Structure 1
Amino acid sequence: MTEITLAHLSDPHIAHDKLCLPPTAMLNKRALSHLSWRRKRRFLHVGAILDRVVADLRATAPDVVALTGDLTNLGLPAECRQAADWLRRDMPAQTIVIPGNHDMLVRDRWPNTLGLWAPWMAPAPDDFPFVRQVGPVALIGVNSARPMPCFVAAGQIGRPQADRLAAILHDIGRQGLCRVVMIHHPPVAGIVPPRKALLDAALFRDAIARAGAELVLHGHSHMSGLSSLPGPLAPVPVLGIASASMRSDRPERAAAWQQIRIATTERGFHIEIRRRIFRPDMPVLALPAMIFASYRIPSPI
């Protein structure tokens, strides 16, 4: 394969209203998140909008889907089972997932929660970052989800994971593959307020600056946008995408997904990005393509 089509979506926040919620599992931070869901967020994250986004995505038959976290709202075992069923039933077979902060709201047994997503993700907490190769593209999944105190939705990757990320990026770059890094929390300062930020973003930025990457994908902010991080020789594009279920009239906030076509060239990669936006009671808004050229140059580390 010399060209693949990658679909990027994030933060579906699949509704949990019909699930049985064990009272003992709610005696923690989950109770506050559930209250927020009942009072406000269930009116913003709409299942019918998510269905529309997924149907549009599937119609394009992407080679692979990158889903950057927050499939659940409380991270309950029942929600994780529901999300696994949704992945099997509704998403293309070649889907790659990383966890978001809502998926790891509190500490819980991995086999009963995120371990259920092993077919689409790293099988164990210590297996991040993980790599999935599709044609000339290597997707690298980073875990920034960590249990945090109440009213804090921040993330953290930790130095061991950051060091492994730099080594992986270096090795894959030497192989001549297009490196697409998936992380839930935005690694660029200022996109979200401090209580929602990546606390050790400097570690992530240092790995990118040392080893390089062709593209970084994130969610969490519930806002679509483009930014960048310094690479060894050129800036690395950083793409955020709004929640795939968000009801909003604002184009940057409305539910969306990104179609990313990556083609190999004699010198590197041609990357073409098209964002598709879903506002209530309106046709799909397809934005003009963003185009990037990336060159295969072995990076120092």
Structure 2
Amino acid sequence: MTEIVLAHLSDPHLSHDKLYLPPAALLNKRALSQLSWRRKRRFLHVGAMLDRVVADLRATAPDVVALTGDLTNLGLPVECRQAADWLRHAMPAQTVAIPGNHDMLVRERWPDSLGLWAPWMAPTPDDFPFVRRVGPLALIGVNSARPMPWFSAAGRVGLPQADRLAAILHDTGRQGLCRVVLIHHPPVAGIVPRRKALLDRALFADAIARAGAELVLHGHSHVSGLSSLPGPLAPVPVLGVASASMRSERPARAAAWQQIRISTTERGFHIEVRRRIFRPDRPVLALAPMIFTSYRTPSPI
């Protein structure tokens, strides 16, 4: 395969209003998230917006979909089961997912919660980062979601995972693959406040700086945008995307997905990103493409 079409979406926040929530399961940090959902967020994360995004995405028949976290709102096992059904029936078969902070608000038994997403994700917490290869593309899933104290939506990667990430990037780079890293929390400073930030982003940035990558995709901020991280030879583009279910008139915050067309060249990869934005009662807003060029030059780890 000399060309791959990758679709990126994030933060669908599937509604749990029709699910039974055991009262005892809310006697923790989830109580705050449930209050926020009932008072505000359920009016912002709208199923009709998500349906429009998914229908548009499916119509383009991408080779693979990258979903960068927050499928749920409270991380309850019943929500994880609902999300698994949604992944199975609503999303293309070739979908790769990672968890977000809402998916791990508090500790749950992995087999009863995120373990249900094993067909689309790493089978156990110890298997991050994981790699899914599609032709010349290597999707590398990182887990930045950790149970955090009350009032914190921050994340961590941890030194062991960061070291494994650097090794995976080095190995896939030597194979000449296009390395796209998936992480929920933005790995660049200033995109979100500290209480929502990747607290050890220096570890992640160091892995990228040492071993390189072609692209980093994230969610969490609910804002579509472009930033970068230093790479061994050139800056590495970092792309965020708004929540796929967000009802907003503001283009940067409105529900969106990104079509990423990756073509192999004699020296590396040509990457073309087209963002598609969905506002209430308006036609799709298709932005001009962003173009990136990457060269296959393995770097020392």
The normalised TM-score by structure 2 is 1.00
- Whether 1:254 and 2:254 are equivalent positions in the alignment is yes
Q: Does 1:49 align with 2:42?
A: no
C-alpha separation in 1, matches of 2:180 and 2:298: 16
Q: Partner residue of 1:149?
A: 149
Rounded Cα–Cα distance in structure 1 between residues aligned with 2:12 and 2:281 = 19
Map 1:188-203 to 2 at 5 A.
Answer: 188-203=188-203
Task: Provide, for residues 55-100 of structure 1, a one-character-per-residue CA deviation record: whole Å limited to 9, x for no partner.
Answer: 0000000000000000000000000000000001100000000000
User: C-alpha separation between the residues in 1 aligned to 2:172 and 2:135?
Assistant: 13
Alignment of 1:226-241 (within 5 A): 226-241=226-241
State the match for 1:212 in structure 2.
212
Which residue is equivalent to 1:100? 100
Shift of 1:237: 0.2
Which residues of structure 2 form unaligned runs of 5+?
Answer: none
Q: Secondary structure at the match of 2:37?
A: helix
1:145-176 CA deviation, whole Å, 9 max, x = no partner?
00001110000010000000000000000000
Could you tell me how far 1:50 is from its partner in structure 2? Answer: 0.2
Q: Deviations over 1:11-51 (max 9, x none)?
A: 00000000000011111001110010000000000000000
Q: Which runs of 4+ in 1 moved over 6 A?
A: none
* Cα distance in 2 for residues equivalent to 1:68 and 1:10: 5
**Per-residue displacement from partner, 1:223-259 (whole Å, max 9, x unpaired)?**
0000000000100000000000000000000000000
Query: Aligned partners of 1:159, 1:293: CA distance in 2, in Å?
Result: 30
Amino acid of the structure 2 residue aligned with 1:222: H
Could you tell me which residue of structure 1 aligns to residue 134 of structure 2? Answer: 134
Partners of 1:81 and 1:51 in 2: how far apart? 19
Letter in 2 for 1:21: L
Distance 1:208 1:237 in 2: 11
Q: CA deviation at 1:297?
A: 0.4
Aligned to 1:277: 277
Q: Which runs of 5+ in 1 are unaligned?
A: none
Secondary structure (helix, strand or coil) at the match of 1:208 reads: helix
Cα deviation digits, residues 106-160 of structure 1 (max 9, x gap):
0110000000000000000000000000010000000000000111000001000
Give secondary structure in 1 for the equivalent of 2:253. coil
TM-score normalised per structure 1: 1.00
Identity of aligned residues (%): 87
Deviation track 1:249-285 (CA, whole Å, cap 9, x = no partner) reads 0000000000000010000000000000001110000
Question: How many equivalent residue pairs?
Answer: 301
- Structure 1 residue 298 displacement after superposition: 0.9
The AA in structure 2 aligned to 1:229 is L
Question: What is the alpha-carbon distance in structure 2 between the residues aligned to residue 188 and residue 100 of structure 1?
Answer: 17
For residue 300 of structure 1, report the CA deviation from its aligned partner: 1.0
Query: 1:296 corresponds to which residue?
Result: 296
* Matched letter for residue 126 of structure 2: D
Look up the SS of the partner of 2:40 in the other structure: helix
Q: What residue is the counterpart of 2:2 in the other structure?
A: 2
Give, in whole Å, the separation in 1 of the partners of 2:144 and 2:69: 10
Instruction: Note if 1:119 corresponds to 2:110.
Output: no
CA deviation digits over 1:196-243, x for unaligned, max 9? Answer: 000000000000000000000000000000000000010000000000
Q: Which letter does structure 1 place at the counterpart of 2:186?
A: P
